[in-house]
Structure formats: C-alpha cells, structure tokens
A and B are shown apart, each in its own frame.
Chain A
Amino acid sequence: MLYPAIGTRGTFASVLPPKLAPPLTRLHLTTLGMPRVELASVRHILRAIATTVVPESSSLDDRAWKDFEELISQALSGRDARVQRQLVVFLRLLQTLPVLRYGRKLTALHASQRSAFLESVERSRLLLVRRGLWGVRTLIFMGYYTRVDVAESIGYRANRDGWAARGGTVATVPLAPTLWVEP
C-alpha cells in the first residue's frame, strides 16, 4: 500500500513569512469554500517550466494546456489559500532569479539554460527552494501524466479486466525474455 501523490499541501508553506499568512482560527469547526486558484498571471512561467520538466508537453495544444492548468487549479483549490499564494510567489521567483546569472528572465532563456537553471534550483542549499521546485514539478507531472492520451502514449495499459484484457494469464501471455537470459 503506497500512494505518494500530489504533495501540494504545505509544499510552499514556509516560502512566505508568517506575517503574510491569514490569521488562523479553529478551522476544523467550520467549512471553508476555497476559491479556485488563479494561474493566469503566471501561466507563461508555468508553461516554460513545464516544457523543461516534460519536453513533450511543448506539443500540447491550447485545449490540452487548458486542461493541464485546470487540473492543477483543482488540485490546489482544496488547499490552504496560503499554499495557493505561495505557488504564485514561487513561480515569480523562478521567473526573476535567472536575471542574476543570465541577465534574462526564465521565460526568455534558451531551453538548455532553462534546464541548467532549474537543475541548480533542484540542488539548492536551501531546503525551501528545493522543495518548492519539487512541488512545482510534481504539479506538472500530475497535469501531464494523468492525461489518458499521455498514459496510452507511453504504453501504460492497466485495465480493470486485468489478465483477461491481455488474453489470459502468464500461461498465454509470453514471459519476459530477460527471465531466461543470463545477464
């Protein structure tokens, strides 16, 4: 039993100083209607990072990008509003930081520079920065790899009918050749 999934609650929980956080009450006694997170202002940054994290995503059409963003927005909508704001702040930080090294913003970098920059962020000495990128890449993987067409394109074929959908059990489905070859 193991399902390590979206990982967004608290991903950016410490990026903002506490004074910017909303006053906390005993929220468990109330029901909060969380607003849908607004990604429009950082859409170009998110897409630039997405095409670096998953290069194949550059071939997504407008409709697919919309679905991608909707999925991320939905995943965030049930979370603490602070987390949603932290995502936006962190994306803007990623957009601006390359100016120090490359003299250009993230979205203006060549693909190889963008990749190198994000790899440096991934190895940052600051845990907050590393986990921030980890959260962003997780959201991007979620937005991309949970698409049915993408799952099919990479050869993922799990089916509720299991062995029957493959024509039978291992008695009829050939075993992997590697089982019988000495390495």
Chain B
Amino acid sequence: MIEEREYDIVIVGSGAGGGTVAQELGVLARAGTRVLVVEQGPRLRDDEFTGREIDMANALYEDGGGFLTADGTMTLAFGRAYGGSTVVYTGTSLIAPERVIRRWHVPGLAHDDLERRSRKFMAQNNVHELTPELINDNNRLFVEGCRRSGWIARQFPLNLKGCRGSSLCNLGCPNAAKMGTHRVQLPNAESNGVDVVTRAEALEVGDHTVMVRVSARQQGEKGLPSEWLPGTYRIRAHLVVLAGGSIGTSALILRSPIARTIPHVGTGFTCHPAHILVAEHEHPITNDVGHPKSYYLDRAEDERFVLETCMYFPFITAKNMTGFGSSHSQFMRAFPRLQMILVLACDRATPKNRITVNAAGRPVVHYTFMPETIDGLVAGTRASTRIFFAAGAVRVHAPSADPPLIERRDAAQADALIDARHFLPGRISVSAAHLMGGCAMGQPHSAVTDSYGRVHGVPWLRIADASLFPDALEINPYLTIMALADRVAEAIRNDAGMLLGGRSALGNTASRPVSVHR
C-alpha cells in the first residue's frame, strides 16, 4: 500500500545543499508554505557519536564508507545522515577560487556572487582559524616542512564552535562542535516549520511527485526512528528540489522515467582522487589529538594537486598504505610517531567519468584515472615526501613508489622513486570524498540546469548540490555547495507565487531576513 502525502515543496537530501535550501525557505514555511525534507539516513542523538571507527562508519556513511567505483579501484565516501556529508567532513570552509568559476563558464554565475553568499554562511557557521595553542604537531610539522621546502602553507578556516580537539571529525564530532547543517541550518528550518523525515529514501521522481520509502529502525542501529511510519509514500508537490549529492541526485533522476526528458544527467563526474601519505618520525608527536585538518598547500593551478593535513584512524590508515606484512605492521605500530598528508588531485570532467544506474537502480560510478590526474597525484606525493623529510621524518610511505617505503637516506632520490609507472590501480588505495558533477549548470544544449539550479525544460524541478558543478572545484566544496543552494532557494522564493499556484503570496522575498535560531 502506498501512502499519499502532499506538500508545496519537497527537498530530497539534508546535507550542505538540502539543509541550506531548507533553511532559506524557512521564511516561506513560516508563512504557511508546506516544506518537507526527506533524508535517507538517520537522525543521531548526540550521545551516539562515540568516535568508534566501525560503528560510526556504518551509521553515517553510504555503504559504511566503502562505496567503490565500477572497476573497484577507488573508494568514494559520502554521508548518509541528518545533515548528510556535513556530519562527517572536517569543517574546512574555503571560498571557490575565482579562476575556477571563470573556467566553469556558467552563464549568469559570477564569482563575487558566490563569494558574498559564502561569507554569509561563514558568519552563520562560526568559521574562523584555530588559535596557535590548538594546532597539533601533525599540523605544525606540515607548516614547517612546507617552509623548509620553499612553500607557504595556509591555514584552513573551520566552522567550529567549542572544538575540544577529539580529532574524530570524520566519524561525526562527539562534542557537537562542527557546525554542519545538522547543527545549524536544519534546526533553523525546523524551527520555522519545515518538516524533516529521516530514514526516507527517495526511490523515484516523477511529475510533481517523489516516491519515498521510509525504513524502520533495525535493532541495534544508531539513530532515532523515522518521523513517519515505515512504508512507501507518494509525495506530491508543486516543486521538487534534489539535493542528494552528486551520486544520489544523478542516480535518482536516472532511475526515474523523467530521465528520458533530461539529457546529460550523470556526465561530468569529478572527485579529487586522493592518496593518504604517512611518514614516521623518531619521536612521538601529537597527531590523534587536536583538529586534524588545519593547514593546506594549494598547488592546483600550477601542478594540479592540493595537500591537506589529515589524521585517520587505525583501520583507514592500514587500508590506505600499500602492501601488507611485517613492514606494514611496523609502520602501524609507530602510530604515535606518524605524520599524515592527504594528496588531492585536481581532476577534470571527461566523458569517460560518469554516473549511471544498474538494473536495480543503484548508482554505478565509472571512473578512469586520466594521465593528468595520475600526474597530479604523483606530483603531490613527491611534494609531500619532500615536506615530510624536511620536517624530520625518518621514513615515508609513498603509494606511487615501489617499494613504497622511502628511508631518509634515500630522500634525495625520492622524486625518481615516486613515478607514475608505479600507479597500479587495484593495488594502491585511492579514495575520494569531494564528489562533484552529474547535473551540471550551463546552457540547455550541454547541461542539466541553469545557474539557479532550474532544470532545463522541467519547471517544477530544481537541483541544489555538488552535482551542479560543471567541473572540479579544486578546493573543499561544502561552502560553494551552500552558496549555490542559497541561489537556488532565492530563485524559488522569487518564483514562489507562480510555482506554488497561489499558495504563497510572498512573491519576491529575497531581501527578507531569514530568522536564525541557535
């Protein structure tokens, strides 16, 4: 049996995109417009964020964090919870580079507009730089290693409030200190009358309709039961906003009959493929305490890579090192002396890399490592190795070296040891968490939406997430997603009278302040 529900606006997804749209439509909800957010993942209680690796991965990530590309050579990580991936990111808040937005060449999209909106959310999310006494050795060594190598590391602005330095950001902050949409925008939206239903998977999107399956909370599962009874629902709405992320939104459209009327969906997927590099020092350092990702080195424009500090958990660390056996174990036993750097390659949209769905409607991500992407990873690995040794490391684990362990005595030969010919997919670990593209903004003949997320040819359908990116952003994407979602919400408010069939008399509300309850 299918339950029927009716709303004016349905938003699919509650992460950086969906959570932002929900908040920004709060003014409509307060005036009587019925707004609903459906989120596939659960809503966790604060005391359920334990920091335990396996528990939190299963609770907060799609496929427990183990979603693989079609050929099994890269792991894609994305959140599935009230707040989406904003629950599990590190809170790094960077404004989109002007050169990237110019290169995107999206008609009507200007960098200064994105910057203005980004700054609005930076203020709302308490974005700031950590003070020196909160920077751990793992980050200080990176800064010093960069300096000694002739580079200047820059500090990440972070959206934290009350950070205690648990270092567990990627497992969901156990101290409620990360200002993701689950802490800021969604509570604001709900206080204005927006409904949020969790454990609700969008199955199909049709003409002014979203089919949703609400699942029961299984015994032993984290999170609250759904706000709705388990079952299948047909939700009718004047307007549907898709914000399920690059993969989620693309797959939802592709498995729906409406896909026939929307060309180009699933194309242009990019993800900043990444290596986790590990180095061993002689002495213990503070690494698994303090914020893990406080500094970065941006070489995107010149060498197609970005380096970021990072600190992962034992299993993730073990998995991301190449090889096995005693040398691998020796590195793991040196955990208190480990320094880590994340190498992100700046990939480019290419016809080979795209999202499809299988016969079961599940997303399938086809990704081929292009030579330029491999070059970016290799260049980033060489730079990281230089930084590690400059900071005093005694040995470095470099995935694209063979053997991967490079001792300090061989530091001078590191550039020769690290080479693209050792990049062997399926042997070395590559992962990505910046999932972008699939429903790109642009002209109707080549893209899915305009610069306000309006789907070409489908007036009742909007998109508001990273799938809008026509190419890689080359920095951490959440703030840009929020800025784009803000534009989507503004367009909806502007069009409300027309879209909602007279239910809303608000008309242009873009200039009205949205109440914020914290």
Q: Which of B71, B134, B315 contacts A127 (CB 8 A)?
A: B71
Smallest Cβ distance from A36 to chain B, in angstroms? 14
B124 near A: Cβ within 8 Å? no
A135 near B: Cβ within 8 Å? yes
- Indicate if the CB atoms of B68 and A53 lie closer than 8 Å: no
Smallest Cβ distance from B336 to chain A, in angstroms? 4
Which residues of chain A have C-beta atoms less than 8 A from B232's C-beta?
29
Closest to B255 in A: A28
- Indicate if the CB atoms of A134 and B427 lie closer than 8 Å: yes
- Indicate if the CB atoms of A162 and B391 lie closer than 8 Å: no
Which residues of chain B have C-beta atoms less than 8 A from A161's C-beta?
164, 166
Closest to A11 in B: B72
A150 near B: Cβ within 8 Å? yes
Q: Which of B49, B276, B316, B324 contacts A53 (CB 8 A)?
A: B324
Which residues of chain A have C-beta atoms less than 8 A from B20's C-beta?
none
A171 near B: Cβ within 8 Å? yes
Which residues of chain A have C-beta atoms less than 8 A from B54's C-beta?
71, 142, 146
* Stretch in B354-362, B436-444, B495-503 with 4+ CB within 8 Å of A: B354-362
Binary CB contact string for chain B from 318 to 329 against chain A (1 if under 8 A, 0 otherwise):
111001111011
A99 near B: Cβ within 8 Å? no
Which residues of chain B have C-beta atoms less than 8 A from A127's C-beta?
71-73, 425-426
* Stretch in A39-47, A88-96, A100-108, A172-180 with 4+ CB within 8 Å of B: A172-180
A9 near B: Cβ within 8 Å? yes
CA distance A127 to B512 in the complex (A): 56
Smallest Cβ distance from A23 to chain B, in angstroms? 9
Contact (A162, B137) CB under 8 Å given A4-B431, A7-B319, A28-B360: no
Which residues of chain A have C-beta atoms less than 8 A from B215's C-beta?
31
Smallest Cβ distance from A18 to chain B, in angstroms? 11
CA distance A135 to B389 in the complex (A): 31
Closest to B171 in A: A3
B451 near A: Cβ within 8 Å? no
A35 near B: Cβ within 8 Å? no
Which residues of chain A have C-beta atoms less than 8 A from B328's C-beta?
53-54
A164 near B: Cβ within 8 Å? yes
Which residues of chain B have C-beta atoms less than 8 A from A156's C-beta?
288, 313-314, 335
CA distance A28 to B215 in the complex (A): 12
Which residues of chain B have C-beta atoms less than 8 A from A5's C-beta?
57, 61, 64-66, 75, 77, 315-316, 319
Binary CB contact string for chain B from 225 to 241 against chain A (1 if under 8 A, 0 otherwise):
00000001000000000
How many A-B pairs have beta carbons closer than 8 Å: the answer is: 271
- Indicate if the CB atoms of B274 and A183 lie closer than 8 Å: no
B303 near A: Cβ within 8 Å? no
Interface size on B, residues (CB 8 A): 107
B281 near A: Cβ within 8 Å? yes
B174 near A: Cβ within 8 Å? yes
Contact (A1, B90) CB under 8 Å given A161-B166, A183-B389: yes
Closest to B216 in A: A31
Closest to A25 in B: B360
CA distance A119 to B424 in the complex (A): 13
B44 near A: Cβ within 8 Å? no
Q: Which B255-307 residues have a C-beta within 8 angstroms of A?
A: 255, 274, 276, 281-286, 288-290
Q: Which A36-90 residues have a C-beta within 8 angstroms of B?
A: 52-56, 71, 75, 78-79
Which residues of chain A have C-beta atoms less than 8 A from B71's C-beta?
127, 131
Which residues of chain B have C-beta atoms less than 8 A from A162's C-beta?
163-167, 175, 289-290
- Indicate if the CB atoms of A29 and B203 lie closer than 8 Å: yes
Closest to B336 in A: A155
- Indicate if the CB atoms of B140 and A176 lie closer than 8 Å: yes
Which residues of chain B have C-beta atoms less than 8 A from A141's C-beta?
315, 318-319
Give 6 nearest A-B pairs by CB, closest first.
Answer: A5-B65, A4-B431, A1-B89, A162-B165, A178-B392, A6-B66
Cross-chain pairs A/B with CB under 8 angstroms, 23 sampled: A2-B433, A4-B433, A7-B75, A24-B360, A28-B361, A29-B203, A78-B64, A130-B427, A131-B426, A145-B318, A146-B54, A151-B313, A155-B333, A158-B166, A158-B288, A158-B313, A160-B174, A160-B175, A170-B136, A175-B286, A176-B140, A177-B283, A178-B283
